[in-house]
C-alpha cells in the first residue's frame, strides 16, 4: 500500500494568468478620460513597470492620435506585448499593422460582433456573413503578423452553438488568443465559468490557443465574472487601472490581481504583476485623466486600509490580521491609516499622538482624550493638526513656527528666504536656491531646521469657494526608511506648502526629543 503523499508533494503549481491591460484603449473610451499621445506614453511606462503582459495602446483606425501614441510607445517599450484594436475590415487591419511597425512584440486584436442582437441591428449580417468576415480578416492579417487575438464582441449573449463555430473557425484561420467579452456586463459567474469550460473542452484546436476574458461592470460583476472565467480555464484577463471604461467600466486590474494574490490557494492562479506598484499606478492615472476613485474603492481607495471604529482600531493595534487581509505596503500604500473620529477609542488616540511625537503620562492622556471626544461632537474627522492644537492647549511646545518668507523666481534658479522661530523662541533666518519656488522653499526650511526630507509627492488644491477659498498643500516625504505625510492650509499656496513641510519636520523633532530609549529616530 502506498504511503499518503505529503502536502508538499501534492501541491499544484499556480496557473500563470496573463494580464492584458486596456486602460489606454477601452479605459480611455470612458467619457472624460481621453489622453494625448505623450500622456499615453507616460501611462504605458507605468504599466510596463507594473508588469502588464500585454498593453493595448489604442484603436489606430479611429484616430491619428492613437496612431501617434502607438508609434511613441512602440519605439520605447520593448518588453511587454503591444496590441492595437482593429475591426474585421481589411483597411482597418492595414492601418493597424502599419501602426505596429515600431513594436518589438506586436499583437493585432481584431473583433467582430457575434450576438443575434448585434448581428441584426448593428451589422445587419447573417451568421454565415459574420463567420466569413472573421475568417477572411484573420487569414489576411496572418500573412503579416503571427500574434493575433480575436474577440467575439457580445460573446456572452451569443448562441452557444454559433459561438463554438466562430471560435473554431478563428482558430483554424490563425488566431492565437480567443477573447470572449461580456461586452455589456450581462452574464453571471456560474454562466461564464461553464461557458469557458465548454469552449475549451469542446472546440477543435482550443488547446492550441489562450482563452481570454473581458468583463464589463454594468451589474458590478466584472471582477467576479473574470475570476469565474479563470476557474473555467481562461488564462488571460483583460482589465483597466481603477476599472475605468465605457459605462460602468471594466474589470479593475488592481482588484483581480489582488484577489488572485490573496486567494491564491483557492484559485491556484497568480499573475506577474508587481503589486507594490498598484497604488502609484492608480494615482498616476487619476492625475492624467482627472477621474478620482471613490474613497471606499477596493485596494486603491483612500479608505481601503483606513479604520475609525474603536473596536476595529483596538483589534488592529493588537494584530493586523484581525481586520486586514492584505498589507497596505504590498499594494503601494505606506501604512494602515487609523482615522480618528467619534467611533475611535483611547488606544487609537494614544497611538496617533505617539506617531506625532507626543508621549503622555496616564493623567495627561485622560485630559487630551476628553477634549478629543468633545471635538468629535463638532466635526466628523479629527486630523493631526487638530491633535496638535489640543496639545498646544496643554502647553506643549509646538516646534518651529513660520514668521515670514519670500520666494523669487529668477529664471533658471529660484531663491527662497524663510524666517522661523524655533521651539525656544529664537529667531532663525536662512536662504536657499532651488530648481523652482517650492524646491528653493523646502531647501531653505531644511537649512533652518536641520531636518533633511526626501520629497516623494506633492499636491495642492483649493478648499472652499469664493472669498473663503484657501489653498491646501499635502506632501509625502521620506526620512530614513519611513514615509511621512504633511499638510498645510493658507490663503497663499506657497505658505501652505511651507506649513506642510514644517508639519512633518516638527513631528520628527518632537520624536527625537521625547521618544523613550530605543524609539529614537535615526538622524538624516
pLDDT digits (tens, 9 = 90+) for 350-378: 887 887 777 777 887 888 888 888 888 87
Q: What is the DSSP letter of 321?
A: G
pTM of the model: 0.72
Residue 216 assigned as binding residue: yes
Residue 109 assigned as binding residue: no
CB burial of 310-347 (b: ≥16 within 10 Å; e: otherwise) equals bebbbbbbeeeeebbeeebeebbbbebbbbbbeebbbe
Closest CA to 475 of 493, 488, 491, 464: 488
Assign a CATH topology to domain 13-289.
Answer: TIM Barrel (3.20.20)
Element spanning 454, H or E: strand 454-463
Residue 134: phi and psi, rounded to 5, are: -65, -50
> Which residue's C-alpha cell is 523633532?
509
- Quote the cell numbers at residue 84: 492595437
Degrees (nearest 5) of the Cα angle 456, 40, 55?
100
β-bridge partners, 70? none
Tell me the pLDDT of the chain (524 aa) as tens digits: 444 454 444 566 899 999 999 999 999 998 889 999 999 999 999 999 999 999 999 999 999 999 999 999 999 999 999 999 999 999 999 999 999 999 999 999 999 999 999 999 999 999 999 999 999 999 999 999 999 999 999 999 999 999 999 999 999 999 999 999 999 999 999 999 999 999 999 999 999 999 999 999 999 999 999 999 999 999 999 999 999 999 999 999 999 999 999 999 999 999 999 999 999 999 999 999 999 999 899 999 988 887 767 677 678 777 878 889 999 999 998 877 767 888 888 888 888 788 777 777 788 788 888 888 888 887 777 877 777 777 765 544 457 889 999 998 866 788 999 999 888 889 999 999 998 889 999 999 999 999 999 988 888 877 655 555 677 888 888 888 778 888 788 888 899 899 889 988 887 877 676 555 444 433 33
Residue 26 assigned as binding residue: yes
Alpha helices in 203-252 (DSSP H): 222-231
- Other Cβ atoms less than 10 A from the Cβ of 172: the count is 13
Residue 461 assigned as binding residue: no
- Residue 299, judged by CB atoms within 10 A of its CB (0-12, 13-18, 19+), counts as buried
- Helix, coil or strand: residue 486: strand
Measure the CA–CA gap between 433 and 418, rounded to whole angstroms.
12
Question: What length does the chain have?
Answer: 524
Measure the CA–CA gap between 230 and 266, rounded to whole angstroms.
12
Q: Is 130 left (phi over 0), alpha (psi -120 to 50) or beta?
A: alpha
Location of each CATH 3.30.160.270 domain in the chain? 401-514
Alpha helices in 23-182 (DSSP H): 37-50, 64-76, 90-99, 116-118, 127-142, 160-173
- Other Cβ atoms less than 10 A from the Cβ of 399: the count is 21
Domain 401-514 CATH assignment equals 3.10.450.40: no
Location of each CATH 3.20.20.70 domain in the chain? 13-289
- Quote the cell numbers at residue 489: 492650509
Within 254-400, strands assigned E span: 269-270, 306-307, 337-338, 340-341, 381-382
Amino acid at each position: 500500500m502506498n504511503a499518503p503523499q505529503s502536502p508538499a508533494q501534492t501541491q499544484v503549481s499556480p496557473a500563470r494568468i496573463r494580464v492584458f491591460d486596456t486602460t489606454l484603449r477601452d479605459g480611455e473610451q470612458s467619457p472624460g478620460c481621453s489622453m494625448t499621445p505623450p500622456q499615453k506614453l507616460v501611462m504605458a511606462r507605468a504599466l510596463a513597470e507594473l508588469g502588464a503582459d500585454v498593453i493595448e495602446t489604442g484603436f489606430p483606425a479611429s484616430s491619428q492620435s492613437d496612431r501617434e501614441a502607438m508609434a511613441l510607445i512602440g519605439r520605447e517599450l520593448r518588453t511587454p506585448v503591444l496590441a492595437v484594436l482593429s475591426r474585421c475590415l481589411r483597411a482597418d487591419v492595414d492601418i493597424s499593422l502599419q501602426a505596429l511597425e515600431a513594436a518589438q512584440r506586436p499583437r493585432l486584436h481584431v473583433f467582430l460582433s457575434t450576438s443575434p442582437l448585434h448581428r441584426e441591428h448593428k451589422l445587419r449580417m447573417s451568421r454565415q456573413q459574420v463567420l466569413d468576415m472573421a475568417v477572411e480578416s484573420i487569414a489576411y492579417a496572418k500573412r503579416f503578423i503571427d500574434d493575433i487575438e480575436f474577440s467575439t464582441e457580445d460573446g456572452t449573449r451569443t448562441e452557444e452553438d454559433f459561438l463554438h463555430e466562430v471560435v473554431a473557425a478563428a482558430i483554424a484561420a490563425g488566431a492565437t488568443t480567443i477573447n470572449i467579452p461580456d461586452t455589456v456586463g450581462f452574464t453571471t459567474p456560474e454562466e461564464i465559468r461553464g461557458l469557458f469550460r465548454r469552449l475549451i473542452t469542446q472546440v477543435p484546436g482550443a488547446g492550441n490557443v489562450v482563452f481570454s476574458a473581458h468583463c464589463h461592470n454594468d451589474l458590478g460583476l466584472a471582477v467576479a465574472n473574470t475570476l469565474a472565467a479563470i476557474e473555467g480555464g481562461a488564462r488571460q484577463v483583460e482589465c483597466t487601472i481603477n476599472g475605468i471604461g465605457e459605462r460602468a467600466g471594466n474589470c479593475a486590474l488592481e482588484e483581480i490581481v489582488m484577489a488572485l494574490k490573496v486567494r491564491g490557494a483557492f484559485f491556484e492562479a497568480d499573475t506577474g504583476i508587481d503589486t507594490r506598484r498598484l497604488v502609484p499606478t492608480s494615482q498616476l492615472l487619476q492625475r492624467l485623466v482627472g477621474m478620482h476613485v471613490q474613497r471606499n474603492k477596493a485596494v486603491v481607495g483612500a479608505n481601503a486600509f483606513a479604520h475609525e471604529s474603536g473596536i476595529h482600531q483596538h483589534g488592529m493595534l493588537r494584530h493586523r490580521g484581525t481586520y486586514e487581509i492584505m498589507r497596505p505596503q504590498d499594494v503601494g500604500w505606506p501604512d494602515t491609516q487609523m482615522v480618528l473620529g467619534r467611533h475611535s477609542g483611547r488606544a487609537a488616540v494614544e497611538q496617533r499622538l505617539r506617531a506625532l511625537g507626543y508621549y503622555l503620562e496616564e493623567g495627561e492622556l485622560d485630559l487630551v482624550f476628553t477634549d478629543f471626544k468633545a471635538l468629535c461632537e463638532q466635526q466628523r474627522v479629527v486630523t493631526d493638526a487638530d491633535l496638535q492644537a489640543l496639545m498646544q492647549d496643554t502647553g506643549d511646545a509646538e516646534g518651529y513656527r513660520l514668521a515670514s518668507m519670500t520666494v523669487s523666481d529668477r529664471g533658471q534658479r529660484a531663491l527662497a528666504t524663510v524666517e522661523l522661530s524655533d521651539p525656544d523662541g529664537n529667531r532663525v533666518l536662512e536662504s536657499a536656491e532651488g530648481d523652482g519656488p517650492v524646491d528653493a522653499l523646502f531647501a531653505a526650511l531644511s537649512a533652518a531646521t536641520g531636518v533633511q526630507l526626501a520629497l516623494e509627492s506633492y499636491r495642492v488644491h483649493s478648499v472652499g469657494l469664493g472669498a473663503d477659498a484657501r489653498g491646501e498643500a499635502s506632501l509625502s516625504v521620506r526620512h530614513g526608511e519611513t514615509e511621512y505625510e504633511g499638510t498645510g492650509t493658507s490663503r497663499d499656496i506657497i505658505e501652505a506648502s511651507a506649513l506642510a513641510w514644517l508639519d512633518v519636520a516638527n513631528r520628527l523633532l518632537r520624536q527625537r526629543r521625547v521618544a523613550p530609549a530605543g524609539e529614537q529616530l535615526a538622524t538624516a
